[in-house]
Amino acid sequence: MKKSFIYAAKSALCVILLTGIFNACSNSTSSEEEQEPIGLNVKLNGQTVVNQLNNTVQGSIQITEGQTISLTVLFVDEDGVEFTPDPDEHSILVESNTSIITSSNISSDEVPFSFDLSASGNGQGNSIVITMNHEGAPEFVSRDLPVVVSASSASSVSK
Amino acid sequence: MLISAKKIVVALFLISIPLSLFGQSSSFNISGIVKDVETKEAIPFAYIHLEELNRTSVSTVEGEFELANIPTGTYTLTVHRIGYRTQSQLIESNGDDINLEIILTVSVLSSEAIEVTGKNANLTGSGLEHASKNIFGSDLRRNLGSTLSETLTNLPGFDQRSNGAAPGRPVIRGLGDERVMILQDGINSGDVSSQSADHSVTIDPVSATEIEIARGPAALAYGANAIGGVINVVKNQVQTSLPSKLSGTLSLNGQTVNTGLSSALSLTFPVSKFAIQADLNGRYGLNTNTPNGEIDNTFYETTNDAIGVSWIRPWGYVGASTSIYFSNYGIPPDPNGHPEGVDIELRKYQYDARSEILINRDFLKVIELDASFKDYNHKEIEGRNSQGNPVIGTEFSLLTSNFNIRAKHNEFGIFNNGSFGISTEFEDYFVEGAGTPPSTNFETGVYIIEEFDVDALHIEAGMRFDLSLASTNETGLFYGIGARNGSIDSTFYKDRTFTALSGSVSAIYDLGKGFSIGSTVLRSFRAPSLEELYSEGPHLASYSFEIGNPDLAPERAWAKEVFVGFQNNRINTSAALFHNGFDNYLFARNTGEPNVQRADLLDYQFVGTKAAIYGFEVSAEAQILKTVVANISASYTLGKQNTTDSNGNNSGSKPLPQIPPFKAKSSLKYANDGFEVGTRFTFAAEQDRTGEFENPTGSYFITDLFAQYRLNSKKLLHTFSFNVNNIFDTEYYNHLSRIKDLRPEPGRNFTLLYRVYF
């Protein structure tokens, strides 16, 4: 009986040792803290024309047929603070739901996360979706941001 | 990592030395010959299984077999052989060697039919083993699919959760994910297949010797969460007996639905007192065809290779094995999630060690130890960047360590058999590309399972105590959906500890003349998984943004089942009614709301709710003529969850999502002299009892054809299996498919499997 107890104790010790061996191997757990976007503000000449926060979209982008406007995106973090992600690792992609609206990325070191938006005709229900990519993978995808296109009264193009 | 595996083996060996000092008591050998009842000729390649000790052997070309060093006692020896009725018989010895002449009867019934001989010729309760089901031989070859779930899906009550061709997972009676435990040679598979529909099970069925399914008390040895059941794929990568010479199988398989090819080689051979087991297999398939055309990005290429060595001694054995599972596969595109589809690159390295020490003193019969370490990683690749490099959306890494010790005892008091033990598991989980923080989980459980008979009543009872510790380094506010939308209160990341006592009782009463009746009750416990507690991130491959809940309570349930059965030489029937009542059913609820960070994905929030999953299952197989067998089965499962009003009061119920529809299957088989041919029909009803934001699926009726032929040569046994699945190229939708709204199931598929036993 006593002998059995000693062997049982030895076995228990081995169990503990084995558990220790296993636990010695572990995944890397380092992670960098980064501001996470939960919304965005789209600005025209420094003024917010449309914003999204917690899934709610307010405002719209106003554009006239034949016009091209330059817009800048600032993202909003959990605390409601605007921020600009590191442009070396992040980029934006602007997609339109119609062929009337076209965009081109004009981001630069001075003005990151900027794009031109052009309207080649007028129509209802136009919108764009802005995606922020982090090293190629989407990190933030906006809801449909409305674009209101009004018919041109003159053929002038402003920029 | 290799060092760690080496340490495991050394540690097990060190444990074995003191324990082996016990093992010098009386033991005996079983040897014998397997013969055909009519011709009296020797039968080669019969699979011999000593169930209580899990010892296996294969009969030689001369029909001979041997199992050495069996501790004195009473055992069940089961012999399976293609084309013959499976036979079980009781073996009892006080130390004298036993020589058997096992006579097998040719049978056209499925290999599940079991003839019990010897002392239990009148089918006493202990021979019925309702809680277990085994699939092997011709049944396994006929149903062999490219995944484990596809292989099992023709069984009554079985369905498969799928998402394209590669990532399938079995669902039993409407219960899946963490509620069905998947093991290989008794060890957790160490993957993340239970988490999400796009994650595949890392066990290839092609090299399986048999597949065991356990429910009730027997499942408590592995955990208290397997309310649906435990599926154990037996590959015997660490051999338990010393083979007399080289033996093995070579399998070649092809199918047309995706131009799929697979091959597998399994070898077992002795080197002195060592038994070597080697498995090599590869699988390849292009996009799957359906009646509506090809499903993009459903390719797969997989290899699962292993080598094991065991040292067979008079005191037992000690052995180790290592294996790799590499798989690249595609998840089909979804316009709402990832229009181009997602490619998954999966790698798993596994190191196992196990030992069995024969004690056979007054109380203890045998001690089994096993240790396992798995290093799992998969990357979800969401296209290529402008430089052509893969863009990794999410990367999952999981390190899993298991250590189990189990003791089996001799007859003791009223107990015929029994076992008790400890199982431990440590998981280190890391996800990159999502907000889910690194986290760890430690689980340990102690259990006892006992069996006894009271006249014709056989009772099996088990009890298990679990301790589970989940922790994360993350602190601060958990910005889950609840923190923003108010569906739950804002909460904080936190470590969680769960403890619980679980138990199960199964009683089977032999009514005589082949009739039996029984019942099983299980009180289950499942601690929330790390993903359910802490996940917060996009999961493009499953088209969702998954959000955990650090405050989740554990899932507990009462599972009840009553069943009746009848068996004789021509008929094998069973029927069961089951009800699983959950106090807190955990699942990812589709909120229908776009995520605040990823408006292109819907939020799936892990929640707990009162729920019930219940239904019935019937099956019957009958030999209607000497060479003709008919089989019919049906299963129906209902799932509902309680709903509450804004004050938290019960306001009724609504269906649970992902519950399979009513299904009926039937088959007719002609079998004669090594040849069999038949047809199988499957009917599934419309499923309109759907969860929130889940679409219904229509009814369908599909027809399959199958044929098998076996050819015995002097030293080889050749088998050919030819199937035509979905012969009429019917368009149908699996309700448990994640892509059921977009794409149908595979169309007509011709498959050919050649396997040679040598």
B135: which 2 tokens?
């699939």
What is the pLDDT at residue B483?
46
Top pLDDT among B15 and B154 is at: B154
What is the pLDDT at residue B15?
52
Q: pLDDT for B466-502, tens place per residue?
A: 999 999 887 766 665 444 444 444 567 788 999 999 9
**Longest CA pairwise span in chain B (Å):** 76
Q: Shortest CB distance from A27 goes to which of B11, B385, B399?
A: B399
To the nearest 10°, the Cα dihedral for B752, B176, B212, B706? -20
Per-residue pLDDT band at B647 (split at 50, 70, 90):
low
Gap from B5 CA to chain A (nearest CA, Å) = 9
Task: Provide mean pLDDT across the span B663-668.
Answer: 94
Domains of chain B, first to last: 2-757 (2.40.170.20)
The conformation of residue B247, written as its DSSP 8-state character, comes to E
**Which residues of B fall within a CB distance of 8 Å from A24?**
4
Q: pLDDT for B674-722, tens place per residue?
A: 888 999 999 999 999 998 778 899 999 999 999 988 888 878 889 899 9
Q: Shortest CB distance from B438 goes to which of A29, A37, A140?
A: A29
Give domain status of residue A7, yes or no.
Answer: no
Asked if the C-beta of A29 comes within 8 angstroms of chain B's C-beta atoms, the answer is yes
Give domain status of residue A54, yes or no.
Answer: yes
Give domain status of residue A156, yes or no.
Answer: no
Gap from B465 CA to chain A (nearest CA, Å) = 18
What is the pLDDT at residue B540?
66
B317: which 2 tokens?
């054995």
CATH number at residue A89: 2.60.40.1080
Which H helix or E strand runs over B15?
A: helix B2-20
Say yes or no for a CB contact (<8 Å) between A38 and B597: yes
Give domain status of residue A18, yes or no.
Answer: no
Say yes or no for a CB contact (<8 Å) between B8 and A27: no
Find which of A86-95, B304-313, B734-743 is predicted with most confidence, using mean pLDDT.
B304-313
Q: Which chain A residue is nearest to residue B388, measuring alpha carbons?
A: A136
Asked if the C-beta of A11 comes within 8 angstroms of chain B's C-beta atoms, the answer is yes
Instruction: Determine contact, residues B145/B255, Cβ cutoff 8 Å.
Output: no
Measured distance CA(B678)–CA(B682) in Å, rounded: 14
What is the pLDDT at residue A16?
47
Give domain status of residue A56, yes or no.
Answer: yes
Per-residue pLDDT band at B416 (split at 50, 70, 90):
confident
The conformation of residue A129, written as its DSSP 8-state character, comes to E
Q: pLDDT for A6-34, tens place per residue?
A: 554 455 455 544 544 444 455 544 445 56
Q: At residue B120, does pLDDT exceed 70?
A: no
Give domain status of residue A99, yes or no.
Answer: yes
Task: Provide mean pLDDT across the span B206-214.
Answer: 84
The conformation of residue A37, written as its DSSP 8-state character, comes to -
Mutate to test the interface with B, among A5, A29, A30, A142 (most CBs of B within 10 A): A29
B668-680 as b/e, with b when 16 or more CB fall inside 10 Å? ebebeebebebbb
Of B463, B561, B579, B460, the C-alpha closest to B520 is B561
Q: Which amino acid is at B675?
A: F
Say yes or no for a CB contact (<8 Å) between A27 and B18: no
Q: At residue A135, does pLDDT exceed 60?
A: yes
The count of residues in chain B is: 758
Q: Which chain A residue is nearest to residue B432, measuring alpha carbons?
A: A31
Gap from B438 CA to chain A (nearest CA, Å) = 6
What is the pLDDT at residue A158?
42
Q: pLDDT for B593-620, tens place per residue?
A: 888 888 888 888 888 899 999 999 999 9
**Which residues of B fall within a CB distance of 8 Å from A38?**
479, 484, 596-597
What is the pLDDT at residue B7?
55
Task: Provide mean pLDDT across the span B544-551.
Answer: 85
| Burial classification of residue B219, based on how many CB atoms lie within 10 Å of its CB (0-12 exposed, 13-18 middle, 19 or more buried) | buried
Count of structural domains within chain A: 1
Say yes or no for a CB contact (<8 Å) between B438 and A137: no
Q: In chain A, helix, strand, coil percent, each to 5?
A: 15, 45, 40
What is the pLDDT at residue A10?
54
Give domain status of residue A126, yes or no.
Answer: yes
What is the pLDDT at residue A79?
80
Q: What is the pTM of this model?
A: 0.82
Say yes or no for a CB contact (<8 Å) between B597 and A140: yes
Asked if the C-beta of A142 comes within 8 angstroms of chain B's C-beta atoms, the answer is yes
Measured distance CA(B169)–CA(B164) in Å, rounded: 12
Which H helix or E strand runs over B418?
A: strand B417-432
Measured distance CA(B188)–CA(B374) in Å, rounded: 9
Q: pLDDT for B554-595, tens place per residue?
A: 999 999 999 999 988 788 899 999 999 999 999 888 888 888
Of B23-32, B117-126, B220-229, B453-462, the least confident: B117-126
What is the pLDDT at residue B487?
47
Total CB pairs under 8 A between chain A and B: 109
Say yes or no for a CB contact (<8 Å) between A17 and B424: no
What is the pLDDT at residue B544?
80
What is the pLDDT at residue B252?
93
What is the pLDDT at residue B24?
47
Say yes or no for a CB contact (<8 Å) between A141 and B598: yes
Q: pLDDT for B247-257, tens place per residue?
A: 888 999 999 99
Measured distance CA(B336)–CA(B315) in Å, rounded: 60
| CA dihedral sign, ordered B175, B177, B181, B183 | positive
Say yes or no for a CB contact (<8 Å) between B596 and A136: no
**Which residues of B fall within a CB distance of 8 Å from A138?**
382, 393, 538, 598, 600
Task: Provide mean pLDDT across the span B345-356.
Answer: 94
Asked if the C-beta of A20 comes within 8 angstroms of chain B's C-beta atoms, the answer is no
Residues 6+ apart with CB under 8 A from B675: B707, B708, B709, B710
Q: Are strands B114-117 and B86-93 parallel, antiparallel or unpaired?
A: parallel
Cβ atoms < 10 Å from Cβ of B114: 19
| Domain extent for A103 | 39-150
Instruction: Determine contact, residues B438/B472, Cβ cutoff 8 Å.
Output: yes
Task: Provide mean pLDDT across the span A94-112.
Answer: 80
Tell me the CA distances in angstroms from B672 to B83, B140, B524, one per residue in order. Answer: 9, 19, 45
Q: pLDDT for B10-63, tens place per residue?
A: 555 555 545 544 444 577 888 889 888 778 888 887 888 887 777 778 888 788
What is the pLDDT at residue B104?
84
Per-residue pLDDT band at A5 (split at 50, 70, 90):
very low
Say yes or no for a CB contact (<8 Å) between A18 and B600: no
Q: pLDDT for B220-229, tens place per residue?
A: 998 888 888 8
Q: Which chain A residue is nearest to residue B13, measuring alpha carbons?
A: A14
B70: which 2 tokens?
């069996």
Average of per-residue pLDDT values in chain B: 85
